[in-house]
Amino acid sequence: MSTQQTVRAKVMKSRFHEPVTKQIYEDQFSQIYGDEIIAPPYNLKELKAIAEYSSILQQCIDAYKTNIAGFGLDVEYAFDFNGADVTQDQKKAAETDWTRLEDFCRHLHFDESAETILSHMIEDREKTGNGFLEVLRNGAGQPAGIEYLDVKNMRVCGLTEPIEVEFAYMENGSLKTFKREKRFRKYVQMIDGRKVYFKEYGDPRVMDMTTGAFDGQTPPERSANEAIHFKIGSGVYGVPRWIGNIVNLYGARKA
């Protein structure tokens, strides 16, 4: 006759909390979105980090960087330099501009090559749909350099009131200008709770970088620099090309 043993178990409550899903970060702009600062449709910092969980996305982005900026910058004439109707004065002026532009491209950034700075921007654009560059001007008001702006710290502001600006273009080797009204945007960068405003490239107004207000009395040390927004798409913010596959990439990150 077999004996039957009874096993009793006591369930102990775990001392540890149940695992919960958490975002990679909290949006530092979340408390100040409104009429001026526009919220992006996707979490920009998560979009930038999510490529780490894809087996192919980073390789595609690296290919974009190589094919767009990896072969360097070059200067081209805006007209047929050897055309029969081109005068010697036009050729002399074009040669002077050629030398000046070559120097400009060579010295866009003193610590790294211009191609490296552009590659950083292109990587942001392909990961998040948005890339930013800061434009530096010399004492004569001419563009003299560029700096990389990290997309995770940048946000887009609404359009300002239209102002009249002058545009230049080349026609048959001659520089011509015309005027029309244009509405510009402002951009804001926030790091550790401190905001810095940038005006859109080409905006001729003086802007206070600490408040974002257009004020002609702003001292030079507080005058805002310009920013160029490179985006994919026609919205206020760009959208990355791979956005249709975001569910699969989020799944890989959660796993």
Strands 163-171 and 174-182: antiparallel
What is the Cα 131 distance to its own chain's centre? 2
pLDDT of residue 10: 58
Residue 163, in any domain of the structure: yes
Q: Give the rounded percent of residues in the chain with a pLDDT score beyond 70.
A: 89
Does residue 197 sit in helix, strand or coil?
strand
Residue 22, in any domain of the structure: no
- Report the distance separating Cα 130 and Cα 154, nearest Å: 10
Say yes or no to pLDDT of 239 above 70: yes
Strand partners, 155: 188
pLDDT of residue 5: 59
pLDDT of residue 9: 54
Residue pair 152/44 in contact (Cβ under 8 Å)? The answer is yes
Between helix 57-68 and helix 114-128 the angle, nearest 10°, is: 140
Residue pair 209/224 in contact (Cβ under 8 Å)? The answer is yes
Nearest residue to 253 (alpha-carbon basis) of 72, 84, 55, 118: 55
Mean pLDDT of 50-69: 88
Split into its structural domains, the chain has a count of 1
Tokens of 56: 């192919």
pLDDT in tens, 175-223: 789 999 999 999 999 998 899 999 999 999 999 999 999 999 999 999 9
Residue pair 129/83 in contact (Cβ under 8 Å)? The answer is no
pLDDT in tens, 92-140: 988 999 999 999 988 899 899 999 999 999 999 999 999 999 999 998 8
The amino acid present at 94, given as its one-letter code, is A
Residue 58, in any domain of the structure: yes
pLDDT of residue 235: 94
Say yes or no to pLDDT of 30 above 90: no
- Report the distance separating Cα 237 and Cα 42, nearest Å: 9
Mean pLDDT of 56-72: 91
Residue 236, in any domain of the structure: yes
20 pLDDT band (50/70/90 cuts)? very low
Residue pair 227/134 in contact (Cβ under 8 Å)? The answer is yes
Residue pair 145/136 in contact (Cβ under 8 Å)? The answer is yes
Residue 48, in any domain of the structure: yes
Residue pair 224/200 in contact (Cβ under 8 Å)? The answer is no
Residue pair 78/97 in contact (Cβ under 8 Å)? The answer is no
Residue 11, in any domain of the structure: no
Mean pLDDT of 44-71: 89
Residue pair 208/197 in contact (Cβ under 8 Å)? The answer is yes
* Distances, alpha carbon 72 to alpha carbons 67, 106, 130, 160, 246, in Å: 10, 10, 22, 35, 32
167 pLDDT band (50/70/90 cuts)? very high
Residue 192, in any domain of the structure: yes
Report the chain's mean pLDDT, rounded to a whole number: 87
Residue 26, in any domain of the structure: no
Domain around 168: 37-254
Does residue 140 sit in helix, strand or coil?
coil
Tokens 């982005």, located at residue: 61
Give first-to-last CA distance, the chain, whole Å.
52
